[in-house]
Every structure is written in structure tokens, then in C-alpha cells.
Structure 1
Amino acid sequence: MRIGLVCPYAFDVPGGVQFHVRDLAEFFTAQGHDVSVLAPVDDGGASLPAYVTSCGRAVPVRYNGSVARLTFGPVTSSRVSRWLEEGDFDVLHLHEPVTPSASLMALWASSEPVVATFHTSNIRSRAMHAANPLLRPSTEKIRARIAVSEEARQTVRRHLGGDAYIIPNGVDTHRFAPDGAVTRWTGTPERPTLAFLGRIDEPRKGLDVVVAAMPAVLDALPGARLVVAGPGDVDEIAESLDPRVRAAAEFLGAVSEDDKVALLRSADLYVAPHTGGESFGIVLVEAMSAGAPVLASDLEAFVAVLGSGPAGRTFPVGDSAALARAVVELVGDPGERQRLSDLGLRRARSFDWGVVAERVMAVYETVIEGADSSPVEPALRAGLLGRLRWPMRGEA
């Protein structure tokens, strides 16, 4: 099958959508499909994988509590059209198709069967609501919609109408699997390791929540260490910290994929204190795949990822005192951490690319066969519904 994937965000800048597109492309390529990815880039494209075509340099735009790097304009339009013409794809899979970047331009220019994945959770998006009448003629080209979570699905239903299959983000769980190796981050009973991953200058990632919890954590666990991985201005953050917290914190900055895996495998507890704007929670799946017990804010998206087990502990969003109490309790209870680790490893298998990609391929096949985009069409019930079904909220 000839598959065209379009990513609206700069492909050479780390991000959840970029990683999703990359992993999906590489999984389908390994299965023998002919896959091509179109995306903006920042560095001119010299380091891009062979399957990626650049559609132009990206520019930063504030969006949904973050900064997205997008591209738009006549040069991008020309490159999109040329890529579509040369690709002659059996199916075109657009990610975030209403974001003003390459995906939207590909939607305007497309004639192939179109599948669209919506990653964003933003129920109150005034921009999406206002743009809906302008986008509707184009979005009607979409033959099947995918949402990575119930929250993303509700965003689609509210702003664009219609429904979507829920197919989560995937993770190569085998790459994260615990291997027992000791690293400089491996904790000890006297010096347990708390790990945090995310942009340190992006408020919704919640670093300030865990930092505010650390004095109480250190009162009970004087040797606790907070290891922070993620880009941002470390000096600015460090200057604002309580000296005791600063001494207990290690800021790694942006890390390689190998170091991310090593840190998650080494953590006594992975802390996800995010405060909002999350449609899924891929980092929770990565932590669970690595065997790290998870302590996360009780965002709906995170609760859904942890499942009915649940495969992790939660605390109220933004409640630093509750976070501190949970950290102290879990670090002091190795048996409970092992139980959460075991549950997390089992739960993570549900998000492995071997499971997720099969369901994406089922959507492709449905679209190519000419089925309607509605998840309840008779053609889907007759042939592919079993492959597309995903546990609803509360199922393990």
C-alpha cells in the first residue's frame, strides 16, 4: 500500500505528534508498505530520514498553551501539491488537519481517500469554532476520523461535528522494557529518584507543581532527588528555587531518546503533574513500559490511560500538598510501587504499535474499500469493527 502521512509541525523538533507520525511511518515501512511523510522542518532537512519530504521552514506560533512550529504560504502550497502528485497514494493520512500548516494545505489539494487524526484536546477553542464554516467544505473530504482519546474526540464533535474512531497514540514498548542496568539516575532507598519529563518553561506541564511539593517531600525523605528532563531555560528556573530544592534537583535539559529510556527505567517514581491541555498522555505509557511506577495528576486523559486498574496513582490537578503526600507514601512502600510497576507493564502492552497500527490499517482498508466515515456504518460492522474496537473508559 502507498501511504502518505502529513505532519503539520516541524519534524525535526521533538513533539508527540511528530513522534507518532515517525513511529507509524517506520512501523508500516517495516511491514513492507511504501510510506512517505510530508512535514515542515527547522534545519533545512539535512538530518531528515529518507522517507520525509520537507515542505518548507517552520515558524513558531502560540497554540493550545504551547508553541507550535508551522508552515504556510505559496511555497508550501506548491510543495504539497507536488508531493501529492508524485506520491499517487492509496490513502492520505493527515494529522491535525485543521491546524494552519501542511496538513490543512494537503487537505485542500487532495484527491486521494483521506484519513485524519486529531490529537488536540481543546473543548473551548474559539478559533476552531469560528473557522468551522470555512473549513467544512474541506473537512467533508475526510472519509474517516481518528481521535487519540475521548477528549480529542469530544473536541472534534464539538467544533467540527461528526464522530471519530478512538485509536490511541502508540509506543514501541519493547524499546522501553526494563533491562536492570544501573545508571547515574538509579535510585537507592536512601536516595530515591523522582523523574519528570517535559518542557520546563511550559506551565501546563506542571513543573511548578512538583517543585512546590519538594520541600514537604524533602522533610520526610531528605535524600530524595528530582531529575528533570526537557528543554527550557534551566538558569531561570533554578534561580527561583528554594536552595534546598535546587540542591536536590538535577536539570538535564533536552535528552536523547536513549537517555530518556534510561531515566525512566531508573526512576523510583515517575511524576506527571500536568495541569491541562493534554489529549492523551504518551509519556505515561512510556514510563509504564519502562517499569516506572506512575504518579499523575487526575486529568481525564491521564485517568483514561491508566485504565480501571488503575495502573498508577493520581492526585488532584495542581495540588502540590497532595502530590507530596503521595510521593512520601509511595517511596516508603516498595511493595505498592512494585504492584503499580507490574500493572503498568501490562497496561502499556495495549498501546504497543503492534496493536495500535493494526487498528490504523483497518481504518485505511475501510476507507479504500469505500466505506462511509461513520464508525457505525454497516460495512464496518460487517468486516472491521472487531479490529477497530478500543476499550471504553473504565475498561482494563
Structure 2
Amino acid sequence: MRIGIVCPYSWDVPGGVQFHIRDLAEHLIKLGHEVSVLAPADDETPLPPYVVSAGRAVPVPYNGSVARLNFGFLSAARVRRWLHDGGFDVIHIHEPTSPSLGLLACWAAQGPIVATFHTSNPRSRAMIAAYPILQPALEKIRARIAVSEYARRTLVEHLGGDAVVIPNGVDVDFFATAEAEPKWQSEGARSTALDGVPRPGGTIGFIGRIDEPRKGLPALMRALPKIIAERPDTRLLVAGKGDEKEAVEALPEHLRGQVEFLGMVSDRDKARLLRSVDLYVAPNTGGESFGIILVEAMSAGAPVLASDLDAFRQVLDGGAAGELFPVEDADALAAAAVRLLGDPKRLAELRELGSRHVRRFDWSTVGADILSVYETVTEGATAVATDERVGLRARLGLARD
């Protein structure tokens, strides 16, 4: 099968949607399918052979974050060229309602179109206001996928229609077989595992963009003094891009040495980090439709403590596969972390529960579900073609191209 996948966000700046698309493409290629991914990217960005650049993206505030999007007449022309040259049996558009390549591809294409909705935003006025512009594109979509029940709910409430829920995928074995890095482990990790005696510390992990408030690092920083007061040897490892000095400003100066910033890490080092920590904390404040980092942490055998967001609760099987605390409640976060770090049996139980639960998110399952959707829309259908009826100007109500 020839499959075209459209990524709305810049390939230069890693994020959950980009990782999902990358892993999906590579999974499909391993199965023998021909895959091309169209994505925004700077000219100097090294790209995998299956990615086609649609040009540079620009940063735009979107869904409580800053997304790097690609939109305009030049981008529309590149989309049409990619569609014309691709000869695709099906195209899979991610986030077709964002002002980027996905929406342009929906307007430009006709034929078997599948769309995945990642966004969870129950109060999106912008999406409601934009519905008249979005409607012609949405009507072309033959099958809709939502990455979670909350993304599905956003779609139903704002745009109508429905979607099948297929979660983001993870290569579970990649994380499960990673080797722990001794320098990232707590000093007592190995001995505690042997004799069951709690040590006065532990290693906490956090992965996410440091300067994006909704990732919740400030809440974790507020909790850290209380954690260290009870468990003095606790360390916090932070992997992600952002202003490290600003991140620790609220911490007492004598505690700042117990926070280690690792910067951006490779996939290999992310897996090793998750294998090394005693506890992974996800203090996100909102705007999450899934929670891929929780799946990765569980895959690596890291016990998870996360904000009680709807999406996180679903990923953690209602709280059975990890523990939850009230959103932005630093005191509750600290109390839960202190309790867990002092209870090796509970940590071991969470590792076991998480490792069993996470198998439902492996690409062997998720990929098969997505392929089933592709087969449904392509059965008896002609290949994808460009829709020559109207161009971008007409779609925006400006004029016929």
C-alpha cells in the first residue's frame, strides 16, 4: 500500500504528534508499505528518507502551547505537488483542523482520506468559530481516529461526527530492554532492591519542555523542598529544552544542586533515563489528550505518579497502573512522592502493573488497528488525487484561484 502521512507540526521541534507520526511511518515501512510523510521543516534540518519538507514553519500559540505550523499559498502548492507525485492509495492527515498542512491537504485532496485528531480542548471557541471554513475539509474525511476518549469528545462536541479511538503507539520492547545508567540511579537503588530497606533518597525523573507551563515543572519544583525535607538524598533529573536557571529560581539555593538538567536527550538516552529512575513524575496542568510519556515510562518499568488529568487517568487504567494526585497541588505531589519513595514494595507493584498494562499500546496492536482503518476506506476506492475544483483563495473566501 502507498501511504501518505501529513504532519502539521514542524519536524525540527520534537513533540508527541511528530513522534507518533515518525513511529507509525517506520512501523508501516517495516511491514513493507511505501510511506511518505509531508512535514514542515527548516532547510538545514536532517530528515529521514521518508520525510518530504513542506518548508519552514512559524511559531503560533495553539492549544495552550506554541506550535510551529506551516500555512499559506506556497505551502498549498507544495501540498498539491506532493499529492500529485505520490500516487497514494490513502492519505492519513493528523490534526486536520489546525491551520497547517493537514487542513491544506484536506482541501487539496480527494479520495481515501483518514484523519487523526490529537487535540483535547473542551472549550475551544476558535474551533467553533472556524467551523464554516473547516466543514468542506471535514466532509472529505472518510474515517476519523481520535487518540483518546477526550480527543474524541472534543471532536464530537465542536465539529460533529464521531471517531474510533486508537491510542498513540509505543515500541514497548525498545524501552523495556534499555539498560539503566548507573550515574542516573539513586545510590541505594540496587541495595534497596536486594534487601527491601528504604534509603533516605531516590531519583525522580521529569521529561518535557522546561519553559512550557502546562508541562507542570513549576509544580514539581514547589514540591521538591518538601520531598527533600523527608528524603534528603533525593535527586531530580530533568530532560528537556528550556531556561534551566529560570526553572530553579523558586528553589532555595542550597537545594539547586539536587536538580540535574540533562537538556534534550536522544531516544536511547530517554529510555535509559526511564529505566534508571525510582519514580517518574508527570505534573502536567492540562491540554493533554493522551500522555505518551506515561506509556514510555511504564514500558521502561518506571513507577508513574501523574496529575489527575482525564487523559492521564485513562492511560493509567483509572489509576490502577500508576498513582494520581490533584492537578497543580504541590503538597499532594510531595506527600505521594515521599510515600512512594519510602515504599519499595509499592514501587515494585507499580512497575509490574504498568509493564502489564502498557502492552495494549504497543505498535503491534496500534499499527494493526490503523491499518484496518486504511483497508476500510480503500476497499473498492480509486487512489488519492488532487481536488482541482477550488484552491486556497476560494477556501478562505477570497477569490477563485
The answer to whether the Cα contact below 8 Å between 2:313 and 2:319 also exists between their aligned partners in 1 is no
C-alpha distance in 2 between matches for 1:309 and 1:247: 32
1:88 alignment partner AA: G
C-alpha distance in 2 between matches for 1:231 and 1:309: 29
- Match of residue 108 from structure 1: 107
The answer to whether the Cα contact below 8 Å between 1:120 and 1:152 also exists between their aligned partners in 2 is yes
Match of 1:332 among 342, 356, 378: 342
C-alpha distance in 2 between matches for 1:271 and 1:309: 14
3-state secondary structure, aligned to 1:193: strand
- Match of residue 360 from structure 2: 350
- Structure-to-structure mapping, 1:117-156, within 5 angstroms: 117-156=116-155
Is it true that 1:79 corresponds to 2:89 in the alignment?
A: no
- How many residues are paired up? 370
Match of 2:205 among 184, 191, 195: 195
- Match of residue 8 from structure 2: 8
Structure 1 residue 330 displacement after superposition: 0.5
Structure 1 residue 12 displacement after superposition: 2.4
The answer to whether the Cα contact below 8 Å between 1:215 and 1:244 also exists between their aligned partners in 2 is no
Change (3 A) 1:268 1:201: same
The answer to whether the Cα contact below 8 Å between 1:316 and 1:322 also exists between their aligned partners in 2 is yes
TM-score, normalisation: structure 1: 0.91
2:59 alignment partner AA: P
The answer to whether the Cα contact below 8 Å between 1:186 and 1:267 also exists between their aligned partners in 2 is yes
The answer to whether the Cα contact below 8 Å between 1:183 and 1:262 also exists between their aligned partners in 2 is no
- Structure-to-structure mapping, 1:192-231, within 5 angstroms: 192-231=202-241
1:350 alignment partner AA: R
Identity of aligned residues (%): 61
Structure 1 residue 253 displacement after superposition: 1.7
C-alpha distance in 2 between matches for 1:71 and 1:228: 30
2:7 alignment partner AA: C
C-alpha distance in 2 between matches for 1:193 and 1:176: 18
Structure 1 residue 370 displacement after superposition: 6.0
Structure 1 residue 66 displacement after superposition: 0.7
3-state secondary structure, aligned to 2:248: helix
Alpha-carbon RMSD? 1.3
Is it true that 1:273 corresponds to 2:273 in the alignment?
A: no
The answer to whether the Cα contact below 8 Å between 1:93 and 1:116 also exists between their aligned partners in 2 is yes
3-state secondary structure, aligned to 1:279: coil
- Structure-to-structure mapping, 1:10-25, within 5 angstroms: 10-25=10-25
**Structure showing greater relative contact order (alpha-carbon pairs closer than 8 Å, 6 or more residues apart):** 2
Segments of 5+ residues of structure 1 without an aligned counterpart are 372-396
3-state secondary structure, aligned to 1:116: strand
- Structure-to-structure mapping, 1:267-346, within 5 angstroms: 267-308=277-318, 310-346=320-356
Structure 1 residue 246 displacement after superposition: 1.1
Deviations 1:282-305 (A, max 9, x none): 000000000000000110100100
The answer to whether the Cα contact below 8 Å between 1:173 and 1:352 also exists between their aligned partners in 2 is yes
1:261 alignment partner AA: A
C-alpha distance in 2 between matches for 1:265 and 1:309: 21
- Match of residue 387 from structure 1: none
Structure 1 residue 130 displacement after superposition: 0.3
Structure 1 residue 46 displacement after superposition: 4.6
C-alpha distance in 2 between matches for 1:341 and 1:260: 17
3-state secondary structure, aligned to 1:56: coil
The answer to whether the Cα contact below 8 Å between 1:96 and 1:117 also exists between their aligned partners in 2 is yes
C-alpha distance in 1 between matches for 2:15 and 2:319: 28
C-alpha distance in 1 between matches for 2:344 and 2:179: 16
C-alpha distance in 1 between matches for 2:340 and 2:153: 34
Structure 1 residue 239 displacement after superposition: 3.2
C-alpha distance in 1 between matches for 2:74 and 2:132: 26
Change (3 A) 1:207 1:360: same
Segments of 5+ residues of structure 2 without an aligned counterpart are 189-198, 382-401
3-state secondary structure, aligned to 2:104: helix
3-state secondary structure, aligned to 2:155: helix
The answer to whether the Cα contact below 8 Å between 1:5 and 1:94 also exists between their aligned partners in 2 is yes
Is it true that 1:66 corresponds to 2:65 in the alignment?
A: yes
- Match of residue 245 from structure 2: 235
Match of 1:359 among 362, 369, 393: 369
3-state secondary structure, aligned to 1:69: strand
The answer to whether the Cα contact below 8 Å between 2:279 and 2:303 also exists between their aligned partners in 1 is yes
